[in-house]
């Protein structure tokens, strides 16, 4: 039993479980989008997620950090809701595995963001890896949409949305990492799932949303997956550096490909996998550079 407990509480297991729940949430959003708009689905996901995580808080009763933390989490929540909305919309336009591959560019943005926001030194290897990774992303986008040929095909914005979503997500995760060191993980998860809901509440006043029982059940499940993802991510980041957990995010490619194939009949072409290989290799190169001693 102690060994099982140690495994379940391992930051690597928690991180892997978080990625699995994120993949399930994305698939659920894609399925729900057949019946409702993404903006309404996102509103329900965060509104119900706020209710679920409030129940979690009532069960554990962790001490809240006070009102001083609210502006910070509200600011971070803006980037979280932007990332979620953009990525949710992208999976309704392109295959899950392709969106997941393009979303991996978020790892490459950590170094430049740290340099831009915190004035941390930016190594040459990080620059090289970042450029190579984005070249892989643009390879996917161009092969799928002929973006640079002058005769665009397919949903160009659908392919660009995951990249912009990963930028917003990277900012959100960096901020989350800082806070997870000084606050209870349950508190962080509470704010991560409640305050973003404030941004989507107006949707219920602007759109007449009266879901059927089946559709509402789907919203509840997607909210559960979302809360599980952020809660487990917070716990994992509180127990291990982000750089050590980053490789786990690559498993999202596998989950997205499996779910996309068996549920939606998606099978991305060779260009997606070639570009994804370039992105993953670039991410590993950047991580290796970051682990070198100065």
Helices 156-180 + 124-145 axis angle, to 10: 150
Q: Compare 43 and 120 and report the one with higher pLDDT.
A: 43
Q: Which domain holds residue 194?
A: 2-291
Angle at 177 between CA 173 and CA 183, to 5 degrees: 125
Contact 143, 271 (CB under 8 A): yes
pLDDT-wise least confident of 58-62, 196-200, 260-264: 58-62
CA–CA separation, 105 and 80 (whole Å): 16
What pLDDT is stored for residue 287 in this prediction?
A: 77
Smallest CA-to-CA distance from 40 within 200, 161, 162 is with: 200
pLDDT-wise least confident of 66-70, 158-162, 228-232, 277-281: 66-70
CA–CA separation, 213 and 25 (whole Å): 19
pLDDT tens column, 229-244: 888 887 887 777 666 7
What pLDDT is stored for residue 234 in this prediction?
A: 76
- Quote the mean pLDDT of the chain: 84
Contact 235, 14 (CB under 8 A): yes
What pLDDT is stored for residue 294 in this prediction?
A: 44
For the chain, the 3-state helix, strand and coil shares in percent, each to the nearest 5, are 80, 0, 20
Cα dihedral angle (166, 167, 169, 174), rounded to 10 degrees? 130
Domain count, the chain: 1
Q: What percent of the chain has pLDDT over 70?
A: 86
**What is the mean predicted confidence (pLDDT) over 162-167?**
93
**Cα–chain-centroid distance for residue 48?**
18
Which residues have C-beta within 8 Å of that of residue 170, sequence separation ≥ 6? 106, 107, 109, 110, 113
Give the tokens for residue 224: 């559960």
206 CB neighbour count, 10 Å cutoff:
10
Q: Compare 5 and 25 and report the one with higher pLDDT.
A: 25
What pLDDT is stored for residue 65 in this prediction?
A: 62
pLDDT-wise least confident of 10-24, 76-90, 162-176: 162-176
**What is the mean predicted confidence (pLDDT) over 248-259?**
90
Contact 26, 103 (CB under 8 A): no
CA–CA separation, 194 and 201 (whole Å): 11
* Band of residue 224 on the pLDDT scale cut at 50, 70, 90: very high
**What is the mean predicted confidence (pLDDT) over 13-19?**
89
């Amino acid at each position: 039993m102690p060994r099982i407990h140690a495994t379940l509480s391992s930051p690597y297991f928690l991180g892997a479980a978080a990625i699995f729940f994120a993949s399930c949430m994305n698939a659920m959003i894609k399925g729900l989008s057949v019946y409702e708009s993404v903006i309404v689905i996102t509103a329900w996901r965060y509104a119900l997620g706020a209710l679920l995580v409030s129940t979690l808080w009532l069960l554990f009763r962790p001490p809240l950090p006070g009102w001083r933390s609210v502006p910070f989490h509200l600011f971070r929540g803006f980037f979280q809701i932007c990332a979620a909305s953009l990525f949710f919309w992208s999976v309704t336009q392109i295959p899950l595995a392709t969106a997941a591959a393009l979303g991996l560019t978020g790892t490459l943005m950590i170094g430049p963001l740290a340099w831009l926001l915190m004035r941390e030194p930016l190594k040459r290897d990080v620059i090289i890896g970042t450029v190579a990774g984005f070249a892989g992303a643009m390879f996917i986008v161009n092969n799928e949409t002929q973006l640079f040929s002058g005769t665009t095909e397919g949903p160009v914005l659908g392919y660009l949305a995951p990249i912009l979503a990963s930028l917003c997500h990277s900012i959100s995760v960096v901020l989350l990492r800082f806070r997870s060191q000084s606050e209870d993980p349950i508190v962080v998860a509470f704010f991560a799932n409640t305050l973003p809901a404030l941004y989507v509440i107006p949707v219920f006043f602007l759109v007449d949303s009266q879901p059927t029982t089946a559709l509402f059940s789907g919203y509840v499940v997607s909210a559960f997956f979302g809360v599980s993802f952020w809660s487990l991510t917070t716990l994992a980041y509180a127990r291990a550096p982000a750089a050590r957990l980053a490789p786990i995010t690559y498993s999202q490619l596998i989950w997205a490909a499996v779910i996309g194939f068996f549920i939606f009949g998606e099978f991305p072409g060779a260009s997606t996998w070639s570009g994804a290989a370039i992105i993953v290799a670039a991410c590993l190169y950047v991580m290796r550079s970051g682990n070198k001693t100065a």
